[in-house]
C-alpha cells in the first residue's frame, strides 16, 4: 500500500504534466488524467462560461463543480481557493470580492503556481496572490479568512481530516466554506481504487459521502448544507482500462455511485458578552 507521501508525489507529478496540457485534453478525461474517453466530453466539470469573472485561459477543465457560484462571497472578503491550479476559481472569486477584497490561491504544484501567477499578472490582478504550499498545512494565519472555496481537490488529499481542520483554523469565527468534491456511495472495485491514474483523476481518492459530511461535522462546523449533488457517469471506454466487460456490468448493477457534491458549512461565531441586565441568567 502506498504511503500518504507517495500518493502526494503521484498527484504532484500528474498535475505538473496537466499544467502543460491543453484544456481539451483535460476536459475529455477524468480530471485531467489523460485523454482517455471518446464517449463523452466534460466527464467531471461544470460549465463556467456564464459566471462573471470567468477567464477561459485559466480554466484547465479540472473541476467537478462551481463552488464560487454558491460561496456567498461579499465585496471586500478575503477568500482562499484550495488547489487553485491555473487560477480559474480564484479569478471568479476576485470578481465577487471586488477591488477591496483579496484572494489567495494555494497549490502544491510549482508548475500550476507559475501558470496562475502568469495569468494574474497579464490581467493586472493585484489583489490575487498564489502561494505554493500543502493545504494540510496552509501558509495562512489563523482566523483571517472570510470564505474558503475549493474545486475537486480534497478527494486528491490522503489526509482529508487534516485539511478540514486547517480550513477551520484559517476561517474567521462565523465565516464559511463552499467546496465541490467527488464522493462515493457504495464501494468502488479494487481495480479502480488502486489505480494511480484514477487516483490522480479524482475517483480512487474519494471517500463515502456520509463519511465526508461526518468529518466536516466532527471538526466543529455547523449549518452544513449540500448545495448541489449530481451523479458522475464514467464511460465504458474508461472503465475498460481497469475492468473486464463482466466486471463493468457488475459495477453498473451494484448501485455504487460516484457523485459530485458542493458542500457549504460555517465555523461557529464567537459568543458575545452580555449587553443587558439579566441576559446571562
Whichever domain contains 246, its CATH number is 3.40.50.150
Between residues 181 and 20, the one the model is more confident about: 181
Q: Are 55 and 91 in contact (CB under 8 A)?
A: yes
Task: Answer yes or no: is 30 within a domain.
Answer: yes
1 pLDDT more than 70: no
202 pLDDT more than 50: yes
pLDDT band at residue 205 under the 50/70/90 scheme: confident
**Bridge partners for 229 per DSSP:** 261
**Bridge partners for 171 per DSSP:** 145
Q: What is the mean pLDDT of residues 158-181?
A: 96
Task: Answer yes or no: is 281 within a domain.
Answer: no
Which residue range(s) make up the domain with 23? 4-266
Task: Answer yes or no: is 273 within a domain.
Answer: no
Between residues 9 and 208, the one the model is more confident about: 208
pLDDT band at residue 208 under the 50/70/90 scheme: very high
Task: Answer yes or no: is 79 within a domain.
Answer: yes
Task: Answer yes or no: is 271 within a domain.
Answer: no
40 pLDDT more than 90: no
Task: Answer yes or no: is 279 within a domain.
Answer: no
Q: What is the mean pLDDT of residues 60-72?
A: 87
pLDDT at 38: 44
pLDDT at 2: 63
Secondary element (H or E) of residue 89: helix 88-97
Total domain count for the chain?
A: 1
Nearest CA among 185, 183, 235 for reference residue 204 = 183
pLDDT at 106: 97
Q: What's the rounded Cα separation, in Å, for the pair 92 and 147?
A: 13
Q: Are 209 and 261 in contact (CB under 8 A)?
A: yes
Q: What's the rounded Cα separation, in Å, for the pair 67 and 262?
A: 6
Task: Answer yes or no: is 275 within a domain.
Answer: no
| Torsion sign, CA atoms 18, 116, 98, 148 | positive
Ranges 4-18, 164-178, 222-236: which has the least confidence: 4-18
65 pLDDT more than 50: yes
pLDDT band at residue 7 under the 50/70/90 scheme: low
Task: Answer yes or no: is 274 within a domain.
Answer: no
pLDDT band at residue 39 under the 50/70/90 scheme: very low
| Torsion sign, CA atoms 49, 53, 54, 56 | positive
Amino acid at each position: 500500500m502506498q504511503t500518504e507521501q507517495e500518493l502526494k508525489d503521484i498527484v504532484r507529478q500528474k498535475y505538473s504534466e496537466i499544467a502543460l496540457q491543453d484544456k481539451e485534453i483535460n476536459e475529455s478525461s477524468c480530471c485531467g488524467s489523460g485523454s482517455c474517453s471518446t464517449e463523452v466530453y466534460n466527464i467531471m466539470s461544470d460549465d463556467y462560461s456564464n459566471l462573471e469573472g470567468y477567464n477561459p485561459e485559466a480554466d484547465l477543465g479540472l473541476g467537478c463543480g462551481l463552488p464560487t457560484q454558491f460561496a456567498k462571497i461579499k465585496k471586500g472578503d478575503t477568500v482562499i481557493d484550495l488547489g487553485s491550479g491555473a487560477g480559474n476559481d480564484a479569478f471568479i472569486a476576485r470578481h465577487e470580492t471586488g477591488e477591496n477584497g483579496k484572494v489567495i490561491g494555494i497549490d502544491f504544484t510549482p508548475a500550476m503556481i507559475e501558470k496562475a501567477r502568469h495569468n494574474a499578472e497579464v490581467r493586472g490582478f493585484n489583489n490575487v496572490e498564489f502561494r505554493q504550499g500543502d493545504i494540510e498545512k496552509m501558509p495562512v494565519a489563523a482566523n483571517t479568512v472570510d470564505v474558503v472555496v475549493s474545486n475537486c481537490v480534497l478527494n486528491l488529499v490522503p489526509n482529508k481530516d487534516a485539511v478540514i481542520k486547517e480550513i477551520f483554523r484559517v476561517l474567521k469565527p462565523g465565516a464559511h466554506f463552499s467546496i465541490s468534491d467527488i464522493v462515493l456511495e457504495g464501494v468502488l472495485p479494487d481495480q479502480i481504487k488502486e489505480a494511480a491514474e484514477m487516483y490522480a483523476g479524482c475517483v480512487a481518492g474519494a471517500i463515502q459521502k456520509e463519511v465526508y459530511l461526518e468529518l466536516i461535522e466532527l471538526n466543529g462546523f455547523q449549518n452544513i448544507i449540500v448545495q448541489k449533488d449530481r451523479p458522475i457517469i464514467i464511460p465504458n471506454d474508461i472503465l475498460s482500462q481497469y475492468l473486464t466487460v463482466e466486471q463493468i456490468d457488475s459495477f453498473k448493477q451494484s448501485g455504487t455511485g460516484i457523485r459530485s457534491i458542493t458542500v457549504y458549512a460555517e465555523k461557529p461565531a464567537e459568543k458575545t458578552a452580555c449587553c443587558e441586565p439579566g441576559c446571562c441568567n
